[in-house]
Amino acid sequence: MIELAFNDSTAGALKIAKTMKKGEKLCCTAVFGGTEEEQAELMKPQIPGSQKDIIPLMLELEIGLLNNVDKDWHIRKKILNDLFGNFPGVVEELWQRNISNMKSLQDAKNAMEPIRMWVCDSAPSEMCGLLFICHYMMDANVPLSVVFIPHQIQEDNIITYYRNSGEVLAEQFGKMLEYEKSINRIEKKSYATIWKDLVSENAPLRAILNGTIISVPEDFYDSILRKNIPKEEFIVARIIGKTLNQIPGVSDRWLFLRIQEMVRTGELVEIAEQKDDCPYSGVLKWNLKEDK
């Protein structure tokens, strides 16, 4: 079975989870008691299978135009360049991995190998990934399933909230398997149809609104960014961080591009340049002349 994730954090945590026993935690050593049967159960892996089964597909499908993406997904490289172009070597590394992972998915399609997707339905990138895969696999009887990460879990009087699957700790993935559900033919067709609609709308951005993935204009999040920008000078990272806490699933790179657009149009002015190794370290402020 292929374990399909739509970001590196989820894939990395899944790889660790594959090496862990049930009940094991990264921060402590497990001591097993109980009957032999109970001990044997605890010694089983949290998630059966090999780390090689895990595939991270990072096409950032919630961002950018979608025209022709179904005919040639390679056009997504431009979006990766827009998002990560100022990080040396990152785009090419991501792209080569995407090429390899899409080949693995095609091989799975040919071999009818089961695919399990890990998705938080409040994260646009993950929902777009789910829809894309259902459309991609529409002409094959590949067994598909999805683990929908719950928005919150209460355990030992502690409530944990999840905005994307990348926030799930490695030791928690085994428990998440109880939320796995098979995707039947009708559901797959429904998801594929939603994807086709998004492609035909060809908007520059997709977002989750009232639990539904929709096409939105590129300035969809700008009003929230503006509300978070103070009157005085500010460090870009702080505004991005504050906004991320308010909007589940939005990409920090997209927020950065929107702030850069505000600088380009003169709405904001640069006070101190960003450091090469830390693009969010720049200092900006409102352009008061622009307000007059």
pLDDT along the chain (292 residues), means of 10: 96 93 60 46 70 95 89 87 89 95 96 98 97 96 97 89 92 93 98 97 96 96 97 96 91 95 96 82 86 48
With left for phi above 0 and alpha for psi between -120 and 50, is residue 183 left, alpha or beta? beta
Domain 2-201 class in CATH: alpha beta
Please state the domain extents for the chain: 2-201, 222-291
Asked if 224 contacts 247 with a C-beta cutoff of 8 angstroms, the reply is yes
pLDDT of residue 68: 79
Asked if 116 contacts 2 with a C-beta cutoff of 8 angstroms, the reply is yes
pLDDT of residue 23: 62
Of 48, 32, 50, 46, nearest in space to 175 by CA: 46
- Tell me how far CA of residue 205 lies from CA of 11, 66, 72, 275, 291, in angstroms: 24, 9, 19, 28, 28
Q: What angle do CA 82, 168, 279 make, to 5 degrees?
A: 30
Residue ranges of the alpha helices (H) in the chain? 8-17, 36-42, 77-84, 90-111, 124-136, 173-176, 185-201, 222-228, 236-246, 252-264, 288-291
pLDDT in tens, 142-159: 999 999 999 999 888 899
CATH of the domain spanning 222-291:
1.10.10
pLDDT of residue 31: 43
Mean pLDDT over each residue of the chain, to the nearest integer: 90
Question: How many other C-beta atoms are found inside a 10 Å radius of the C-beta of residue 200?
Answer: 10
| Beta partners for residue 159, in sequence order | 154
